[in-house]
């Protein structure tokens, strides 16, 4: 095949990836940069990580790099090679035997046609065809400075088009996660999804069966992302949000769902802005927003049935989270603070002296306050309430209209001790 003209220059490639490529080539193997990094470089975007594909089998990669390398993965056996803080993922060229001769398919599939295990090694051209999208199936070889294209990916880069390799029904059944990858990659790079690659309504429900731990990783990549707002819109547009967050989707799709939709959009937009500004973000906050509409509705339902507000909220949380983790596993280190953010919301309605100062002193106050701002933005609580808590942190002695007690004196004493170090801006802990 003809290698292609391109604009990739060597110093755009990470030091670890270069050393991996050179190490494998010095040992006599073929090794190329592949996947997202090649795609991003061709589109003029800085890659997030660098993946290498090689004809060396995983054990051979470990032989080349010794203690720097280790084998990981069950479904795909691959090697991770570590250079300081950078980890380069090295995968061996694999064939997709099902593509040419279904009878010769040695992959393990489940009942829905999903690939469970796939360790059949193959040629670079075969490796290209088992990848998801044509723009993800490009190989860059540093030794001859050429891009190798077996799937028409270069034409798609030029057209800024996201096209599946092969048949949508087959490829999306094999791995339903590809449907959300399509949305994520298109949103990140501003690509047009090729008509046949648009997630088919009939296959979208298959996402509900993806293992929940993998789904958690995918949700973070989707929404804790500078392109998060576009991703969220596209997930909704293509019905992909529903199998991931079915309880929330039911609320968003109800007649009064627009405000809840706005709340989630705002949370995703805040997260994106923080990432762009290099500030810390936590999955606890985004998940708190993603599940809140369902928690709030469930709590209201229980209250209508006579349960008092506090136990209604606690029990709604448990029900919603218990159901959600079957779809998207939320690790305890995030679900615990997420629940605290919710649990603190009713306390914002109690503004008298001691109660207010205790709330401000709570370790999760900042995240809970940011969450209150989201709710105010969505019209769930009065702006006046949110403003009161904003002022209570900065001007503790301001008289409080309607609160009767005149501000939050406790908060004031505490703030003075702290020497005004509190930041004015939103800061989920």
Q: Which does 283 bind (CB under 5 to 8 A by kind): Mg ion, ligand ATP, none?
A: none
Q: Which is nearer to ligand ATP, 154 or 312 (CB)?
A: 154
Q: Are the CB atoms for 229 and 268 separated by under 8 Å?
A: yes
Nearer to ligand ATP, 22 or 217 (CB): 217
CB of 398 to ligand ATP, least distance (A): 47
**Residue whose CB is less far from ligand ATP, 210 or 356:** 210
Strands 51-54 and 86-92: parallel
Which residue is at the shortest CB distance from Mg ion?
Answer: 36
Task: Give me the active site residues, please.
Answer: 49, 51, 132
Q: Which of 36, 58, 228, 377 binds Mg ion (CB under 5 A)?
A: 36
Residue 131 near which of ligand ATP, Mg ion, none (CB within 5-8 Å, type-dependent): ligand ATP
136 counts as binding ligand ATP under rule CB under 6 A:
yes
Min dist. Cβ of residue 36 to Mg ion (A): 3
Contacts of 10 (CB under 8 A, 6+ apart): 18, 142
Binding residue for ligand ATP, selected from 13, 20, 33, 35, defined by CB under 6 A: 35
Pick between residue 184 and residue 327 the one whose CB is nearest to Mg ion.
Answer: 184
**Closest to 174 in 3D by CA, of 75, 295, 89:** 75
DSSP annotation of 70 reads: E
Contact flag: residue 169 with ligand ATP (CB under 6 A) = no
Helix (H, G, I), strand (E, B) or coil at 23: helix
Crossing angle of helices 409-417 and 353-361, in 10° steps, is 40
Q: Return the residue of 132, 194, 218, 370 that touches ligand ATP, per CB under 6 A.
A: 132
Answer for the pair 37, 17: CB distance below 8 angstroms, yes or no: yes
**Nearer Cβ to ligand ATP, position 71 or 170?**
170
Q: Torsions phi, psi of 387, nearest 5? A: -65, -40
77 makes contact, choosing from Mg ion, ligand ATP, none, with CB < 5 to 8 Å by partner type, with: none
Alpha-carbon span 103 to 175, nearest angstrom: 20
How far apart are CB 238 and Mg ion at their closest, in Å?
22
Which residue has 């090649």 as its token pair? 38
117 binds ligand ATP (CB under 6 A): no
Nearer to ligand ATP, 78 or 288 (CB): 78
Residues 186-245 that bind Mg ion (CB under 5 A): none
Locate all alpha helices (DSSP H) within 175-308, ordered by sequence: 177-189, 212-223, 228-237, 241-244, 246-252, 258-276, 283-304
> Contacting ligand ATP (CB under 6 A), which of 51, 126, 218, 261?
51
CB of 110 to Mg ion, least distance (A): 25
Q: 48-86 burial by CB neighbour count: b if 16+ within 10 A, else e?
A: eebbbbbbbbbebbbebbeebbeeeeeeebbbbbebeee
Task: Provide the minimum distance between the beta carbon of 59 and ligand ATP in the complex, in angstroms, as a whole number.
Answer: 21
Q: Is 105 in the site for ligand ATP (CB under 6 A)?
A: no
Closest distance of CB 198 from Mg ion, Å: 23
Site string for ligand ATP, 390-419 (x = CB under 6 A): ------------------------------
Please state, as a whole number, how many other Cβ atoms lie within 10 Å of the Cβ of residue 257: 15
From the CB of 51, what's the least distance to ligand ATP, in Å?
5
Query: Edge-to-edge strand order for the sheet containing 69-72?
Result: 69-72, 78-83, 86-92, 51-54, 31-34, 138-141, 146-149
Would you list the DSSP string of 331-379? -HHHHHHHHHHHHHGGGGG--SHHHHHHHHHSTTHHHHHHHHHHHHHTT
For residue 97, state whether it binds ligand ATP (rule: CB under 6 A).
no
Binding status of residue 48 toward ligand ATP by CB under 6 A: yes
Summarize as ranges the residues that interact with ligand ATP (CB under 6 A).
35-36, 48-49, 51, 131-132, 136-137, 175, 177-178, 181
């Amino acid at each position: 095949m003809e290698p292609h003209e391109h604009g990739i220059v060597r110093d755009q490639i990470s030091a670890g990836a270069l050393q991996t490529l050179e190490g494998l080539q010095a040992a006599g193997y073929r090794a190329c940069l592949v996947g997202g990094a090649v795609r991003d470089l061709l589109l003029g975007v800085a890659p997030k990580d660098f993946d290498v594909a090689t004809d060396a089998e995983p054990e051979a990669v470990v032989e080349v790099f010794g203690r720097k390398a280790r084998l990981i993965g069950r479904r795909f056996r691959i090697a991770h090679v570590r250079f300081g803080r950078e980890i380069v993922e090295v995968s061996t060229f694999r064939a997709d035997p099902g593509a040419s001769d279904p009878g010769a398919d040695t992959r393990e599939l489940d009942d829905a046609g999903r690939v469970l295990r796939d360790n059949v090694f193959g040629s670079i051209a075969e490796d290209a065809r088992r990848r998801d999208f044509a723009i993800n199936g490009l190989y860059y070889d540093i030794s001859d400075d050429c891009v190798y294209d077996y799937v028409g990916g270069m034409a798609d880069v030029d057209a800024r088009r996201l096209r599946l390799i092969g048949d949508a029904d087959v490829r999306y059944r094999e791995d339903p996660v590809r449907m959300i990858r399509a949305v994520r990659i298109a949103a990140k790079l501003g690509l047009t999804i090729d008509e046949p690659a648009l997630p088919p309504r009939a296959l979208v429900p298959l996402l509900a069966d993806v293992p929940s731990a993998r789904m958690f990783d995918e949700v973070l990549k989707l929404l804790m992302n500078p392109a998060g707002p576009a991703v969220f819109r596209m997930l909704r547009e293509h019905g992909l949000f529903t199998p991931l967050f079915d309880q929330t989707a039911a609320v968003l799709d109800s007649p009064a769902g627009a405000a809840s939709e706005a709340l989630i959009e705002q949370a995703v937009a805040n997260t994106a802005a923080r990432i762009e500004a290099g500030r810390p973000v936590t999955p606890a906050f985004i998940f708190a927003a993603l599940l809140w509409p369902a928690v709030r509705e469930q709590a209201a339902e229980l209250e209508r049935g006579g349960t008092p507000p506090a136990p209604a909220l606690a029990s709604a949380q448990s029900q919603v989270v218990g159901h959600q983790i079957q779809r998207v596993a939320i690790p305890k280190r995030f679900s615990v603070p997420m629940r605290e953010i919710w649990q603190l919301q009713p306390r914002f309605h109690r503004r008298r002296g001691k109660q207010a100062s205790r709330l401000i002193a709570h370790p999760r106050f900042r995240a809970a306050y940011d969450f209150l701002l989201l709710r105010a933005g969505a019209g769930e609580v009065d702006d006046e309430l949110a403003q009161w808590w904003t002022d209570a942190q900065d001007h503790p002695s301001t008289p409080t209209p309607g609160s009767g007690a005149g501000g939050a004196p406790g908060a004031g004493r505490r703030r003075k001790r702290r020497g005004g170090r509190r930041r004015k801006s939103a800061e989920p802990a």
